[in-house]
Every structure is written in structure tokens, then in C-alpha cells.
Chain A
């Protein structure tokens, strides 16, 4: 039994999701990330107070920057989908791709932050406003991805997830405010001092800058590839449905 699907009749390249632009971006972000490794681990000096532990900062801060950038892009793309006149599904895919990237980097941020905290504070976790907000935001975006996975049409998925993506923006300041107020009323919080801020000299600041640039490029590269991937997943789900329908019709026609 042969069924013509759009996929099997037209030629398709095996180039995947890459284009010349993403290739340039990819090479740049690999180069910058390697440079970050060299600066962070070898060239930058140890901190006066923290010693070598400060080196974790060069991967931790760029990851948290990337994660929050990803969530801002998700919220923005959600707003474009919801309030735009065309209710663009492409905006929805960008939001989804960005949230996936954000969740991965938020997880990395939380773990590297805990390792850094173990060295500098002696404990993995502190109920500090920044940490707690980040952890709850991480869980919320895991929920956001679960909402994307719910059954329903693509339009339903897009609208639901856009609203969840925008509600998460309301969540951040409220959680941050309440945790901050909670900890400020508890005097014991100040004993350990949750400030990870260190006095940065020129080379340290430069290493951090390299990290932020590297991870921004990396984010763009990942976002392009991943939103293209999501577009193709939608398309193949659609053509899979067409194939299944065609098969059913063929079976029906044969049996009558």
C-alpha cells in the first residue's frame, strides 16, 4: 500500500535546522564559550575572600542571565501571540522553545549556585529571596512546559501557554517581595549573609563579560534551532494525522 504524503513526494534536504546565520552564531558561541573556560579557570585571579570558589561565578552568573533572558523572551512572545492581530503560532513556538532553554539553564543555575553556596556559606541552600524566587520560577516553567504538552489543538495550546507564560511574570515580583519581607523579619538570615557579590577587579569583570556575551550568543543559536525544531514537530504531527486519515480512508474504501 502506497500513500502519497506531501513529505514523500517533494524533495527535502537533510540540512536540518541550520542556516548560514546559525552556523556563524554557532561557531562564535563555541569560540566565546571556550574563551570563557580559559578566562574563568586559568586567566582570572582568585578572589581575596572567596579564593578559587569565585570561578564558579563565571558560569553561574551567565547561566542565570540566560535563564531569565529566556523567560523574558517567552513572556514577550506569549504577549505577541495573545495580543497580536494574527495570533501568530510562530510566536507561540518561539515562546515554547525559549521556555525549554530557560528551564535547562535554570536547572544548571540552581545546581551551580548550590555548589558555590556550599563552598562560601557552608550550606547548599539558603532561604534568600533571589534563590527562592528562582527555584519557584523554575517549577512554574516546568508547569508551563506541562501545559504545552496538554492535549488539544495548536491554537488551544498556544493560547493556554501564552496566558501561563504571562501569569508567571506576575508571580516573580510577588514571590520575591514576600520572601524578602519574610527573611527580613527573621534576624538569623543576616548571620550568614547571602550576598554573593564580590569586589571585581578588571580581569574578573572581563571574564564575566565574556561569559554573558558567550551565553547570549548561545541562547540565540539555541532559540533559532529549537523554534525551527518545534515548527517541524507541529508539521510532522499534522502530516502524521493526514497519513493516518488517508490510511483509514483507504481501509474504508477497500472494505466497502
Chain B
């Protein structure tokens, strides 16, 4: 594969950003969730 660094870099960047962003979202959600009663969570 020519330009493998650029190509794999693009994939790594895209998937890496998704994983970090999703991970942070879920983690913050879990942390906040502990302090908030279930009645205030309309999605449950």
C-alpha cells in the first residue's frame, strides 16, 4: 500500500476520535447519573 502512513493515519484519527469522544460521553454520563435521582431521567 502506497502512502500507508497517510491512509492508516486517517483511519486511526477517525476511529480514535470516535472512541475517545464516545468514551468520555459515557463516562461523564455515568458520573453525573450517580448524583441524580431516576425520576429526573426522562429516558429511563
Contact = CB atoms under 8 A, between A and B. Distances in A.
A245 interface: no
A23 B32 CA distance: 19
Interface in A108-124: 108, 111-112, 115-116, 118-119
A115 B25 contact: no
Contacts of B37: 6-7, 9-12
Nearest to B22: A222
A104 B17 contact: yes
Interface in A214-230: 218, 221-222, 224-226, 228-229
B3 A53 contact: yes
- Interface band, chain B: 35 or more
A169 B44 CA distance: 34
Interface string B1-44: 11110111111011101100110011011101111111111111
Interface stretch (A14-22, A155-163, A190-198, A202-210): A14-22
Contacts, number: 125
A255 interface: no
Contacts of B35: 7, 12, 236, 239
Interface string A161-198: 00000000000000000000000000000000000000
Contact of B14 (A12, A18, A51, A63): A63
Contacts of A233: 32
Contacts of A45: none
A12 B13 contact: no
A236 B34 CA distance: 11
A17 B18 contact: no
B29 A232 contact: yes
Nearest to B17: A108
B25 A37 contact: no
Interface of A: 6-7, 9-19, 33, 37, 40-41, 51-53, 55-56, 59-60, 63, 101, 104-105, 107-108, 111-112, 115-116, 118-119, 218, 221-222, 224-226, 228-229, 231-233, 235-236, 239
3 shortest A-B CB distances, which residue pairs? Answer: A17-B29, A10-B37, A16-B30
